[in-house]
């Protein structure tokens, strides 16, 4: 990450596809070719883990920190690879092209994957599949059993399963594996398909000199395979329920803080195990991605812990983590840790010290420089250091055009125009700000595709305060033009990022 470069933030679900949702098929390869044509070095994606309709299909809320999202599996590639017949992938519902209709997609993909599995069971040559299962057994066995059990218990949380299964008594687990062998085997097969397709796409990107930036949430869901199979490393009570949950304290944005509800790690136990679970997690994600952005990085230095039962995050407390010991332990396992630290918000001196000591780049969001009550000097381009990653916006922000039209007041606009040194042409404002980020000394610049295309609020990916309507935006093939690639290529070359 020492070399100057730039890239695009686009989640897989936002790609064009005939199957109702972006996937790992033809649309992903065409987008890779676009990045290459535009002389980009990075493609940043959101977490690829399974999503849950009950959690609004957020990629930041999953039943597994290791598994891949079945909805991203390409039916087109399944046909090419011989896992489906052509007629199976032709029976398409009427999907909207610019949004993801999750209920329709879930039903459709479930039917296709069921068909693929039933056909796969008849095949004799399963060497590649069995090799995948063996390599990934550390997480795959527990994950597949968790999915089978959760389905059997009507979706109930694992802590109210029968006590012997909840507590993972060996005899009960052996019995469950026998009883639900076929359902667990199907889930392993689905994971095999996902990682087979993802590996091919990543290799294609790397051959085009494009590096993938992945994203991992620092915490895992309580009702997840991770918590159920690793109960000791979380602060749980005797019944397996959380004793404390994660969040953030009251701040400028919220008088009561934020109560996330994720179980918090027991860092004392993690330290005793030499952080084995985190080592396994990082080993896994570093196979999937070239660079990893850790969401809410500050929680690896100190985290806000709230007793269970609190209605707000006010009565929590800061708990320190031995970050130096943690990262030193990771560096003993990995020659390099290509990490981007999500360090937005109220960041204290201890977090900045960890970033400096280990050389991890933090984040700058350009829109933050102009949209607050007072100038946000750390986000103004002339204040950047080389070792940082600059975003015009993130998945949680409005687009540049949406911000300008819907959120920026007269003061914000004046501040922006003064910084640009002239009256900006508002129709070209997205290009103005992309260029502004490109001119900075920051090693990496990332722009969401929505900003590159100059789209408004309708293309926003996530509204953090809204429970519904998120993670649905998709672009159309016609929106990605050669003229856009040419223009991006030119400014990328001019500012030494090609």
- What is the rounded average pLDDT for all residues in the chain? 95
Cα–Cα distance measured from residue 3 to residue 396, given in angstroms and rounded to the nearest whole number: 27
More confident residue, 125 or 47: 47
Residues serving a catalytic function are 295, 342, 396
Q: What pLDDT, on a 0 to 100 scale, did the predictor assign at position 307?
A: 96
Name the band, by pLDDT with cuts 50, 70 and 90, for residue 152.
Answer: very high
- Interval 161-165 mean pLDDT: 97
- The pLDDT of residue 464 is 86
> Residue 187: what pLDDT?
98
SS (H, E, C) 170-213: HHHHHHHHHHCHHHHHHHHHHHHHHHHHHHHHHHHHHHCCCEEE
Angle at the Cα of 297 from the Cα atoms of 292 and 303, rounded to 5 degrees: 150
Which residue from 438, 398, 400 is spatially nearest to 416, judged by alpha carbons? 400
Q: What pLDDT shows up at residue 346? A: 75
Residue 378's pLDDT is 83
| pLDDT for the residue 373 | 56
* pLDDT confidence bin for 497, thresholds 50/70/90: very high
Whole-number pLDDT of residue 254? 77
pLDDT band at 219 (very low <50, low <70, confident <90, very high): very high
Query: What is the C-alpha separation between 377 and 340, in angstroms, rounded?
Result: 21
Instruction: Provide the residue range defining the domain that includes 117.
Output: 5-494
Query: At 149, phi and psi to the nearest 5?
Result: -70, -45
Tokens, residue 166: 């909840």
Q: Which residue, 212, 194, 195, 196, is CA-closest to 31? A: 212
If one counts the domains in the chain, the total is 1
Q: In degrees rounded to 5, what are phi and psi of residue 62? A: -145, 160
224 closest CA partner among 248, 240, 246: 240
Average the pLDDT over 219-245 and give the result.
Answer: 96
**Backbone φ, ψ for residue 16 (5° rounding):** -70, 145
pLDDT of residue 50: 98
pLDDT at 165: 97
| Tens-digit pLDDT profile for residues 114-147 | 999 999 999 888 999 999 999 999 999 999 999 9
CA distance 295 to 215: 7
Residue 247 parent element (H or E): strand 244-248
Mean pLDDT is lowest, of 78-92, 230-244, 284-298, for: 78-92
pLDDT at 374: 52
Say which range, 1-5, 182-186, 316-320, has the weakest mean pLDDT: 1-5
* pLDDT tens for each residue of 184-203: 999 999 999 999 999 999 99
**pLDDT of 253 over the 70 cut:** no
Q: Any idea what the CATH number is for the domain that residue 376 is in?
A: 3.20.20.80
Per-residue model confidence (pLDDT) at position 319: 97
DSSP string computed for 3-68: S-EEEEE--GGGS--TTSS--SSHHHHHHHHHHHHTT--EEE----S---GGGTT-TTS-S-SS--
Edge-to-edge strands, sheet with 244-248: 258-263, 244-248, 302-307, 317-320
375 pLDDT band, cuts 50/70/90, is very low
Q: Give pLDDT, residue 89.
A: 83
Whole-number Å distance between alpha carbons of 225 and 120: 25
What percentage of the chain exceeds 70 in pLDDT?
A: 98
The span from the CA of 441 to the CA of 288, in Å, is 29
């Amino acid at each position: 990450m020492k070399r100057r470069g730039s890239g695009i933030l686009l989640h897989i679900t936002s790609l064009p596809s005939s199957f109702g949702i972006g996937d790992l098929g033809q649309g992903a390869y065409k987008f890779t070719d676009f990045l290459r044509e535009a002389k980009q070095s990075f493609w940043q994606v959101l977490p690829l883990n399974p999503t849950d309709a009950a959690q609004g299909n957020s990629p930041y809320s999953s039943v597994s920190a290791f598994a891949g999202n079945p909805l991203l599996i390409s039916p087109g590639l399944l046909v090419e690879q011989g896992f489906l017949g052509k007629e199976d992938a032709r029976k398409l519902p009427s999907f909207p092209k610019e949004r993801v209709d999750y209920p329709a997609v879930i039903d459709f993909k479930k039917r296709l994957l069921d068909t693929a599995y039933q056909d796969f069971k008849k095949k004799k040559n399963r060497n590649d599949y069995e090799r995948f299962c063996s390599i990934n057994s550390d997480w795959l066995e527990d994950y597949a059993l968790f999915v089978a059990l959760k389905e059997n218990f009507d979706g109930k949380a694992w802590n109210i399963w029968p006590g012997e299964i909840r507590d993972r008594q060996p005899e009960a687990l052996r019995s469950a594996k026998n009883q639900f062998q076929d359902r667990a085997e199907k889930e392993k097969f689905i994971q095999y398909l996902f990682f087979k397709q993802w590996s091919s796409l990543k290799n294609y990107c790397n051959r085009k000199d494009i590096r993938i930036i992945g994203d991992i949430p620092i915490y895992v869901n309580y009702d997840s395979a991770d918590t159920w199979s690793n109960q000791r490393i979380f602060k749980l009570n005797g019944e397996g329920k959380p004793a404390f949950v994660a969040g953030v304290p009251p701040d400028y944005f919220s008088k009561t803080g934020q109560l996330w509800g994720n179980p918090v790690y027991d860092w004392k136990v993690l330290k005793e195990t030499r952080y084995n679970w985190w080592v396994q997690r990082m080993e896994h994600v570093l196979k999937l991605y070239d660079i990893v952005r850790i969401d809410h990085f500050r929680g690896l230095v100190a985290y806000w812990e709230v007793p269970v039962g609190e209605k707000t995050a006010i009565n929590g407390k800061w708990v320190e983590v031995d970050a130096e010991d943690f990262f030193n332990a990771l560096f003993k396992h990995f020659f390099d840790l290509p990490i981007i630290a999500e360090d937005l918000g109220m960041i204290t001196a201890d977090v900045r010290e960890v970033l400096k000591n280990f050389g991890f780049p933090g984040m700058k969001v350009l829109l933050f420089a102009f949209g607050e009550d007072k100038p946000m000097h750390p986000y103004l381009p002339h204040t950047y250091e080389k070792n940082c990653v600059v975003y015009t916006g993130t998945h949680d922000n409005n687009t540049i055009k949406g911000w300008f039209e819907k959120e920026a007041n007269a003061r914000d606009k004046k501040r922006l125009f003064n910084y640009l040194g002239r009256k900006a042409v508002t129709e070209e404002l997205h290009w103005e700000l992309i260029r502004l980020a490109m001119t900075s000394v920051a090693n990496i610049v990332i722009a969401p595709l929505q900003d590159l295309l100059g789209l408004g609020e309708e293309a926003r990916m996530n509204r953090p305060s809204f429970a519904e309507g998120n993670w649905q935006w998709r672009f159309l093939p016609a929106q990605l033009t050669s003229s856009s690639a040419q223009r991006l290529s030119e400014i990328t070359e001019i500012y030494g990022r090609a």
